[in-house]
Amino acid sequence: MGSTGSTAATRSEDWDIVLVPRQEWWRIDLKEFWHYRDLVRLMAHRDITAQYKQTVLGPLWHVIQPLTTTFTFAFIFGKAAGLSPPDVPAILFYLSGIVSWNYFAGVINRTSKTFVGGANVMSKVYFPRLVVPVSMTLSSLVSYFIQLATFLLFYFAYWVKGPVSWHLSPWFAAMPLLILMMAALGLGVGVLVSSMTTKYRDLSFLVGFGVQLLMYASPVIMPLDRLAKVPWLLRIFKLNPMTPVIEATRAIFFGKPIDWAGLGYTAVVTAVVLGVGLMVFHRVERSFADIV
């Protein structure tokens, strides 16, 4: 090997790929991720179609589960316990919370299995691992939109039946931002958990349970104004970054004032969680093949 060739190549520092033992935490190659956008699309598509192979009801399951939960909640918490707010039909109140929560919880539950579930392919071929959780986050949107449409169906049915004391806020146009926030928060938590489960398997058991617990600390079931008398509980509820999102969704549909400060808090938490999640994920994806 001539040393002249070696210096020539080193001089032209146009290497496309440089592999080194340690890379800065924040160096996430978004350009490369963008190059693989078609893979995101295909994986999301495969997710959606594969889910319903060999099921009889297919996508109807997206509707059956939230409706059953809604009726249960409406009966137990609304009718029996009298907890639902007086000015909104219990069905709409619970369904609006459940639809948002289902998406958030679904994204966490699925993306948290990124590494453990994808070990087989990932130990054989390289691609930006982030493709997997991002495609899951996107494919979960299908279920979300079906559920949202179900909610809207009920919403307009109540309207037609009327008379109602509420109205749709013009902020409805800002729904995509709320969805984006939920998606980013769910993805952030999911990639964080998936990175940690490569070493600590216990976490995968904890996560489903933890997400469920978190729901009880959100206004999915309990309207915030019922908590006015228990300030410490209200504080816990408000710490949950999903609380402002659910509250804002309801504010939009039932024409109430939006809690901007709360949404600002969620935005900050989302940015931090997603940022930390991506960094940890990036770190783990480099060494993951040696562990699994």
Partner 1 sequence: MSTDDPHVIEVQDLRKSYRLGVIGGATLGDELRVLWASLRGRPNPLAPLDADADDQRSGDLFWALRGVTFEVRRGEILGIIGKNGAGKSTLLKLLSRITTPTQGVVRMKGRVSSLLEVGTGFNPELTGRENIYLNGTILGMKIAEIDRKLDEIIAFSGIQHHIDTPTKRYSSGMKVRLGFAVAAHLEPEIMIIDEVLAVGDAEFQRKCLGKMKDVAGSGRTVLFVSHNMVAVQSLCTRVIWLQDGKLIMDGPPDEVVKKYLHTYTVQRAEATWPEGTAPGREDLDLVRVALAHDAEEGVLTIDDPFRISIRFRNQAVESGDITVGIHLINDDDVLVFNSNYRDEPTAQQMFPIGEHTVECPVPGGLLNDGDYRVTVNVIRNGRFYFRVEETISFTLQEAKRRGTYFRSHGGVIRPLLPWRKVD
Which residue bears the tokens 């609380």?
243
**Among the residue ranges 5-13, 66-74, 159-167, 244-252, the one whose residues contact partner 1 (CB under 8 A):** 5-13
**Among the residue ranges 11-19, 146-154, 229-237, 245-253, the one whose residues contact partner 1 (CB under 8 A):** 11-19
Contact map string, positions 272 to 291, toward partner 1, x by CB under 8 A = --------------xx-xxx
Contact map string, positions 179 to 218, toward partner 1, x by CB under 8 A = -------------------xxx------------------
**Among the residue ranges 18-26, 89-97, 204-212, 260-268, the one whose residues contact partner 1 (CB under 8 A):** 18-26
Cis, peptide link before residue 257, omega less than 30° from 0: no
Q: Is 170 in the site for partner 1 (CB under 8 A)?
A: no
Q: Is 12 in the site for partner 1 (CB under 8 A)?
A: yes
List the structure tokens of 122: 């990932």
CA distance 95 to 152: 10
The residue among 43 and 105 lying less far from partner 1, judged by its C-beta, is 43
The residue among 7 and 231 lying less far from partner 1, judged by its C-beta, is 7
Among 17, 80, 173, 228, binds partner 1 (CB under 8 A): 17
Among 56, 80, 125, 160, binds partner 1 (CB under 8 A): 125
CA distance 74 to 154: 14
Among 71, 127, 158, 166, binds partner 1 (CB under 8 A): 127
Residues in 52-81 that interact with partner 1 by CB under 8 A: 53
Exposure string of 82-117, with b = 16+ CB inside 10 Å and e = fewer, is: ebbeeebbbbbbbbbbbbbbbbbbbbbbbbbbbbeb
95, 66 in Cβ contact below 8 A? yes
Q: Is 163 in the site for partner 1 (CB under 8 A)?
A: no
Q: Is 18 in the site for partner 1 (CB under 8 A)?
A: yes
**Among the residue ranges 118-126, 163-171, 187-195, 227-235, the one whose residues contact partner 1 (CB under 8 A):** 118-126
How many C-beta atoms lie closer than 10 Å to residue 150's C-beta? 18
The residue among 239 and 291 lying less far from partner 1, judged by its C-beta, is 291
User: Cα-flanking dihedrals φ and ψ of residue 267, to 5°?
Assistant: -60, -40
183, 102 in Cβ contact below 8 A? no
CA angle at residue 272 from 251 to 95, to 5 degrees? 30
Q: Is 1 in the site for partner 1 (CB under 8 A)?
A: yes
Exposure string of 187-217, with b = 16+ CB inside 10 Å and e = fewer, is: bbbbbbbbbbbbeeeebbeebeeebeebbeb
Q: Is 9 in the site for partner 1 (CB under 8 A)?
A: yes
CA distance 279 to 24: 9
Binding site for partner 1 (CB under 8 A): 1-2, 5-6, 8-10, 12, 14-21, 25, 35-36, 38-39, 41-43, 46, 50, 53, 121-127, 198-200, 286-287, 289-291
